[in-house]
Structure 1
Amino acid sequence: MSKYLLNKFLYTVDRDPQLVERYRTDAAGTVEWWERELANQVLNCVVAEKSTWLVFTDEERAALREHDHVRLFELGAHPFLTLTLFIAMFERDHGPLEYQKAYGRALQQHALPYPDIAT
Structure 2
Amino acid sequence: MSKYLINKFLFTVDRDPDLVARYKADPAGTVAWWEAEKANELLNCTTAERSTYQAFADDEREALVAQDHVRLFEMGAHPFLTLTLFIAMFEHDHEPLGYVKAYAAKMEHLTLPYPDIAT
Q: TM-score when scaled to structure 2?
A: 0.99
> 1:45-65: per-residue Cα shift (whole Å, max 9, x none)?
101111111000000000000
The one-letter code sitting in structure 2 at the alignment partner of 1:91 is E
Partner residue of 1:70? 70
Corresponding residue for 1:118? 118
Residue 4 of structure 1: aligned partner: 4
2:95 equivalent in structure 1: 95
User: Gaps spanning 5+ residues in structure 1: where?
Assistant: none
RMSD: 0.4
Q: Letter of the aligned partner of 2:20 in structure 1? A: V
Residue deviations 1:14-34 (CA, integer Å, cap 9, x gap): 000000000000000000000
Which residues in structure 2 correspond to 1:1-80 (within 5 Å)? 1-80=1-80
In the alignment, the residues of structure 1 paired with residue 43 and residue 59 of structure 2 have an alpha-carbon distance, to the nearest angstrom, of: 23
Runs of 4+ with >2 A deviation? none
Give the secondary structure class of the aligned counterpart of 1:22. Answer: helix
TM-score, reference length from structure 1: 0.99
C-alpha separation in 1, matches of 2:69 and 2:102: 11
Question: The residue matched to 1:7 in structure 2 has which SS?
Answer: helix
CA distance in 1, matches of 2:44, 2:22: 21
Identity of aligned residues (%): 69
Query: Residue deviations 1:34-86, cap 9 Å, x none?
Result: 00000000001101111111000000000000100000000100000000000
Distance (Å, rounded) in 2 between the aligned partners of 1:117 and 1:12: 18
